[in-house]
Every structure is written in structure tokens, then in C-alpha cells.
Amino acid sequence: MTDLLVTGAAGHLGQRVLHHLVETLGVAPSRIVAATRKPEALAGWTERGMTARAADFDDPASLDTAFSGAKRLLVVSTDAVGAPGKRLEQHLRAIDAAGRAGVSHVVYTSLPGAYDSLVSFAPDHAGTETALKDSALPGWSVLRNHWYAENLLHALPSAMASGHWYSAAGDGGIPYIARDDLARAAAAALASDFSGKRTLTLGGDKTHAAAEVARLVSAATSKPLTVVPVSIDDLIKGMMGAGLPEPVARTFASFDANTAAHKFEIVTGDYKSLTGLSPQSLESWIKANAAAFTAHPG
């Protein structure tokens, strides 16, 4: 019986969800359909008895074939940065297809405070949450995933090279969480027998402002890192000066705007309730990944 389905199975999160389903939770690979635009990338899993199917949210027909027989389905949100509205269209196609396939429970990866967030693509997540609520699906779990600790590796290696981290986040904090911990949570939600409707916010146990992150990274790497406060407009100009297209620079700057407005400061016990575990602390994650902060920025 193939009753559990993971979309976006070739992505970073999707791969770790498959890992946690099989290795952490002991789910038989024969129960799992790994759906992706790139089934050929999943040979390692199909050799172990998993089923790989082609699924592209831009191709509804592919979803009808891919979702056939699934009872519980994880929709991993897509990654269309700088294309407002595109993710929402993609997610709506996935939810519609889940309904047509008779799926009983959809798990969806959203973002914290979806309806109230200044993150530029938050409306895509809010719209998806609303579509789930308005759907005829018997049950769903919205997992509002907090900011990955891995996101720090986008800006900080180049900031480490100069020792200056230009930030418009002010003293706003984020309860960063490792992507692998979120994959464990998504696997737990998918494999559970929860059949109702719930919205969980999954993040670390405490928030960290940029100055505190800089202190932890400096301690772990033995290299200086100072936060240089800038305005949102100057941050956007700086990113564009470094070669980022304006829509992408504006998207990244919206993360700082949301942080500065203290809108990421949502700490809950939901991670522990779902998994029975505490997430890795940011300090421990930074220590374990110290070398990546000082790697030459690509």
C-alpha cells in the first residue's frame, strides 16, 4: 500500500523528510510515494522500495497521476522567489489535485504569522492556508516553518570576509531552526494518525536578534563580525549593487522588515508537541557549521 506521499521530494527539505520517515520513524519505504519534477534524482530511494512519480505543480495532469492512491500528502511549498503569486497558483493546483485524488489529510509547509507577515511572498502562503480551510478535505496540518538556520549561510560568509554584516533587522529576533529539524516534524505530521485540522508554528526555543547571531558566529569561528545597521532602502541598494535583481533584493529585504517589526518573534511549544523532542539550539547549529561561515563566498 502506497499511502504516504511527499511532493518536492528532490529538494533539500523533501530529501530529509524521506530520511526521517524511513530512518527515524521506521516507515516502510513501500508505503511512500516520492513525487518530484525529477524522479531520476531519487534512484537511491527507489532501490530501497520507494515509489518515485513525476509531479509538477505547473502541470495538473501530472498531479492526478502522481497523487493516485495517496491518503496522506505533504505539499512542500515551492520556491518561486521574486514571482509574486506564482507559488499560490502552484499550491492551489496541488490542493485541488489532492481533493480529486481523495486524499484524507494534507500537510503544508507555510511561514510564521502568514496573514500578518511583511515577507513579500507571505500572501502566497496565506492564500494557500485559506484554500485548505475552504477545501472539502477531511483534514489538514499547516506547519508554519520558522526561518531556517541555513538561511544565515546566504549572507554571512561574505559578511564574514569584511567583518561587517549590513542588516535592517534592528533588534527584532528570529527563533531560527535547522531545516533538518523541520523535516523531522513534517515527517512526523505526515506519518501520524491525526485526522483533524490544525495550524502549528515550528521554530527554535528562543529568538535571536542579529547582534546575538553575530556574537555566536564570532565565537564559533574566532573571527570578528559586527552588525552595521542600515535602512531597508539602503539594504536593497546594497544588494542590487552586489548584482541581485531588484525583485529578489526586495524579497530578501522584506525578511529584515518583518524581523525589525518583531513579527518573527513567535515562540511556541508546537515542535515538541509534534515530535516529542526539542529542536537543536542555534548556538549548537552554528558551532556544528562554523566552517561554512568562513568558506569563501561563492
Residues that bind ligand NAP (CB under 6 A): 7-14, 36-38, 56-58, 76-79, 90, 109, 145, 147-148, 151, 179
The nearest distance, CB 192 to ligand NAP, in angstroms, is 20
13 vs 33 by CB, closer to ligand NAP: 13
Closer residue to ligand NAP (CB): 77 or 207: 77
Residue 84 or 237: which CB sits closer to ligand NAP?
A: 84
- Cβ closer to ligand NAP: 221 or 251? 251
- The residue among 164 and 206 lying less far from ligand NAP, judged by its C-beta, is 206
Least distance (Å) from ligand NAP to the CB of residue 293? 17
The DSSP result for the chain, as a single string, is ---EEESSTTSHHHHHHHHIIIIIT---GGGEEEEES-GGGGHHHHTTT-EEEE--TT-HHHHHHHHTT-SEEEE-----TT-TTHHHHHHHHHHHHHHHTT-SEEEEEE-TTGGG--STTHHHHHHHHHHHHHS--SEEEEEEE--BGGGHHHHHHHHHHHTEEEE--TT-EE--B-HHHHHHHHHHHHHS---SEEEEEE--SS-EEHHHHHHHHHHHHTS--EEEE--HHHHHHHHHHTT--HHHHHHHHHHHHHHHTTTT----SHHHHHHSSPPPPHHHHHHHTHHHHSSPP-
Q: How far is the CB of 296 from ligand NAP (least distance, A)?
A: 22
Minimum separation from the CB atom of position 86 to ligand NAP (A): 9
In the complex, what is the shortest distance from the CB of residue 125 to ligand NAP, in angstroms, rounded to a whole number? Answer: 8
